[in-house]
Structure 1
Amino acid sequence: MSHALQRMDDTREALLNALSARDWEAIGKLDESCRSCIDEMLNEASMDEAVVREKLEGLLQVYRELLEVTTGERQAIANEMTQINQGKNASKVYQLFS
């Protein structure tokens, strides 16, 4: 296995681990690494096209999972903020009548 393919596999695995740990800082850094891995892999002349496609499809699946998780996290935060705002409004109403 070429260095570029191994690096892609390692980065993909690290991205999955960071995702399961919800380590957003690590995910940001690994996202940058993925970009350079892809560039390196695509620029390597002797790369088998089927293998490249397989690696990129695997990475695409990780990004789909990442998008799903971040969407869920964002919705959870939005729900929490809504509850906080409702609590503040209820508190203001209570203060008006006390």
Structure 2
Amino acid sequence: MSEVIERIEQTREALMAALASRDWDAVGELDLECRVCVEDVLAEASSNEAAVRGSLEQLLGVYRQLIEVASGERQSIVDEMSQIRQAENAAKVYHLFS
């Protein structure tokens, strides 16, 4: 396996670990590293096309998972904020009648 493909595999595995632990700071840093890796992989793509394609497809799968999890987390925060607003409004109404 070429050095570039090995780097992208290591970065992909680290990204999966950060996603599993919901370490969003690490996800952000690894995302930047993935961008650099992809640029390097594309430069090598002509000499090892099949391996490059497989590596990038696996990385794409991780990004799909990342988007799904991040969207779920965002929706959880929206739901929680909605519940907090409802509780605040209920408290205001309670204080009006007490």
TM-score range, shorter chain: over 0.9
Query: Gapped runs of 5+ residues in structure 2?
Result: none
Q: 1:23 to 1:33 in 2, by over 3 A?
A: same
How far apart are the structure 1 equivalents of 2:34 and 2:45? 19
Give the partner amino acid of 2:72: G
Q: How many residues align?
A: 98
Aligned to 1:67: 67
Q: How far off its partner does 1:46 sit?
A: 5.9
Assess if the C-alpha contact under 8 Å between 1:15 and 1:30 holds in 2. Answer: yes
Counterpart of 1:30? 30
Q: Deviations over 1:21-68 (max 9, x none)?
A: 000000000000000001111112663111111111100000000000
Kindly provide the amino acid, as one letter, of the partner of residue 4 in structure 1: V
TM-score, length basis structure 2? 0.96
Runs of 4+ in 1 over 4 A off after TM superposition: none
Would the aligned equivalents of 2:8 and 2:38 in 1 still touch at CA under 8 Å?
Answer: yes
Q: Is the 8 A contact 1:41 1:47 kept in 2?
A: no
RMSD over aligned Cα, in angstroms?
1.1
Instruction: State the match for 1:93 in structure 2.
Output: 93
Partner of residue 57, structure 1: 57
